[in-house]
Amino acid sequence: MTFVHIGCFDHFRPGKTLLLAGDSSGMLLLAESFDRIASDNMSTTALHLMPFVKVHRGLKLQMSCVLHDIGLSLTGDVFCWQRNQNGWKDAANRTRQVSAVSSGHHYLDAEHDDIMVMVSSGEYPEAWWDSNA
């Protein structure tokens, strides 16, 4: 079964990072989710509840399509990822680019991210998640 792993790491790469990692098929499912939220303006989706997502450390991630591209922040125990339509379309396109290579990643930057977001395909196998998440 295809999974996209989601975890947040305080000291990952340049700083606190939300990592969304999986294989090519998982990245395509994730890109489709970004496309759906971009087409359903002003909607909110709980990514952590999607059947292809494997959450680590009880993470909760709400994705919202909003008027102004805000980015990712932590509110209480919920990660709130707020992008406008163009931001979600950009995230979908970058995620598709990652799905097309055997190993690679992209950062899904927004103007006001409190936490960096990275999508990755082929770089973090199950064993890595077992050891680090």
Query: CATH number of the domain that 49 lies in?
Result: 3.30.1360
Enclosing domain of residue 59? 22-121
Q: What is the mean pLDDT of the chain?
A: 92
Where are the strands (E) in 26-75, listed by range?
Answer: 44-46, 53-55, 60-65, 71-75
Q: Is residue 60 part of a domain?
A: yes
Q: Is residue 16 part of a domain?
A: no
Q: Is residue 72 part of a domain?
A: yes
Structure tokens at 30: 């994730």
pTM of the predicted model as reported, rounded to 2 decimal places: 0.93
At 1 the pLDDT is 54
Q: Is residue 45 part of a domain?
A: yes
Q: Is residue 8 part of a domain?
A: no
Q: Is residue 117 part of a domain?
A: yes
Q: 49-90: per-residue pLDDT in tens?
A: 999 999 999 999 999 999 999 999 999 889 999 999 999 999
Q: Is residue 132 part of a domain?
A: no
Where are the strands (E) in the chain, listed by range?
Answer: 4-12, 15-22, 44-46, 53-55, 60-65, 71-75, 78-83, 104-107, 116-121
At 113 the pLDDT is 84
Q: Is residue 12 part of a domain?
A: no
Residue 10 in contact with residue 16, Cβ under 8 Å? yes
Count of the separate structural domains present in the chain: 1
